[in-house]
Amino acid sequence: MIEKPPSIEPKPDVIISLFCNAEYKKYFDRVEKDYLYWDKVKYNAPNGINPEDFWIAVKMQRLSNAISFGKYVFSYKINDYMQQYLHEFDMNFGGTLSSDNIITERTKQYYLLSSIMEEAIASSQMEGASTTRKVAKEMLRKQQKPKDASQQMILNNYRTIRFLSEKKDSPLSKELLLEIHRKISEKTLDNPEDVGNFRTTNDIVVSNKLTGEVAHYPPDCDEIELIIEQLCDFANNDKTFVHPIIKAIIIHFMISFLHPFVDGNGRTARSLFYWYMLKKGYWLTEFLSISRIIYSTKSKYEKVFLYTEQDDYNLGYFINYNLVVLNKAYKELKAYLDRKSKEHSALFEFKNVTGINERQAKILKIATKKPENIFICKDLETELGVSVKTIRADLEGLVKKDLLKTIHLNKRLTGYIRTDDFEDKLKEFSGN
C-alpha cells in the first residue's frame, strides 16, 4: 500500500511565510508540475523547512474547487501546468491538426478504423484480455467470430466505441450508461444477469492482482442510484462551468470509484470519457489511442486512484495523470501522421505510373528497394489493410503491366517477384 499522508494541524504563520517567500516558489513549482504525492513531496521540501509543514502548504495551495457526489466531497485545482495542457488541447483537438490538414476526408476512415481498433484492444488488455494485437486486428478486420473471452471483450469494446460515436449528441442517463455496459460486457461475465445491470451486493473490492491486497472498497450498492443520478446531472448541466476535458476526466474517475457494476467498470469509465470528449466537439479524440498510453503506465494509473482516496479525495492526481496521457497520445498521433505523410511523399514517384492505385504504388516502392523480395498475398494483408482478394487483384494488375511475374512456391502458394526488365518497364509507364 502507498504511504498515507500525515494528519497534522496547519501552522498559519509557517504557511504564510512559505507562500510569501519568493525563493520557495521553485519548490512549489517542482511538486505541482507532476502533481506529486506526499511520498515524494516530503523529499522536495526547501532546506530547513519541516517536510510536514511544506506538505500542508502544498495542500492549502491545491484547494480551490469542490464537488460532491452522494456523501463524498472531492476537491481539485487546475494549476498552471494543467492550464497549459488544456489550452493546447482546445487549440488542436477541435480544429484541424495542421495547416496541411493531414487527416483528409480520403484518409480519415483508414486512420479512424486503425485508431478505434487500437483503443479497443488496449482497453481490453488492461482488463486481462490475453491476445496479440496482430490476432485481434485480424479478427476485427475480417469480422471473424471471437474464439474466446479475450477476443469477445475486444470485439465488445470495438462495437461500443462505434456506438458511442453515434450517441455523442445524447445526454448521459442511467439508461445510456446501462446500455454502454451491456455492449461492453456481453458474453464476458460469469453471470449473464450482471450484464447491463448495477451490482446489488457489496462483495466487490478493488485489489492488487499480484498481492491480493485490497486497494479500494467501493461505495455501498444502495448509494449507486443516487450517485449515478448526480453524475448524469453533472455531465448534462453546464450552468456551472467546468472545463469539458476536466469534466470528462471526473466522469471517468467517478465510474471507477463507484464501481457500479460487478465487472467491466474500467472499460465503461474509459468509454464514457471518450463519449464526453466527442460530445463536446473534441473530434480528434477518435484518432487518439488513449488506452494504449494508459496500459503502458498501468501502475501509475492505479496509483493516482489511491493518491486521490488517501489525500482527502483530491482529484488533482487523477486529472494531472490523464492530461499527461492525452498529451502523449496527441504527440504519438502527430508523429504517426508525420511518418505517413513522408511515406505518401515517397510514393509520389510511383504514383506517376499510369493506371495503378496507392496500394500498387507501395508494392512498387518495396520492389524497388528490395529487388529480391517475394510478395505473398497473405503477408501484405495486414500492411495494406485490405482483403487477400483485393491484394491478389493488385498484384495481378502489376503482372499485366509486366512489372511483376508469378512464381510457384509450392503446390498451393503463389508468390510475385520483379520481372527481369522491371526498371525499364517502370520508366516506360512513368513516362521517363
Using one digit for the tens of pLDDT, what is the confidence trace for 203-249? 887 766 656 666 788 999 999 999 999 999 999 998 889 999 999 99
Contact 157, 171 (CB under 8 A): no
What's the DSSP call for residue 375?
B
The closest alpha carbon to 52, from 67, 42, 39, belongs to 42
Report the distance separating Cα 1 and Cα 340, nearest Å: 44
pLDDT of residue 142: 73
Report the distance separating Cα 100 and Cα 35, nearest Å: 36
Question: Which tens digit of pLDDT belongs to each residue from 407-417?
Answer: 998 888 899 99
pLDDT band at residue 100, thresholds of 50, 70 and 90? very low
Is the pLDDT assigned to residue 96 strictly greater than 60? no
Contact 149, 125 (CB under 8 A): no
Chain CA centroid to CA 207, Å? 23
For residue 407, give the 3-state DSSP assignment: strand
Q: At what angle do helices 244-258 and 224-236 cross, to 10 degrees?
A: 170
Whole-number CA gyration radius for the chain: 27
Average pLDDT of the chain is 87
Higher pLDDT, 428 or 394: 394
Is the pLDDT assigned to residue 7 strictly greater than 60? yes
Compute φ and ψ for 25, nearest 5 degrees: -60, -40
Mean pLDDT of 391-398: 93
Give the DSSP H/E element, type plus range, for residue 228: helix 224-236
The closest alpha carbon to 140, from 128, 122, 125, 154, belongs to 154
For residue 225, give the 3-state DSSP assignment: helix
Average the pLDDT over each of 12-16, 59-63, 265-269 and give the range with the smallest value: 12-16
Average the pLDDT over each of 60-74, 92-106, 323-337, 380-394 and give the range with the smallest value: 92-106
Contact 391, 380 (CB under 8 A): yes
pLDDT band at residue 98, thresholds of 50, 70 and 90? very low
The sign one gets for the Cα dihedral 209, 188, 295, 34 is negative
Contact 329, 336 (CB under 8 A): no
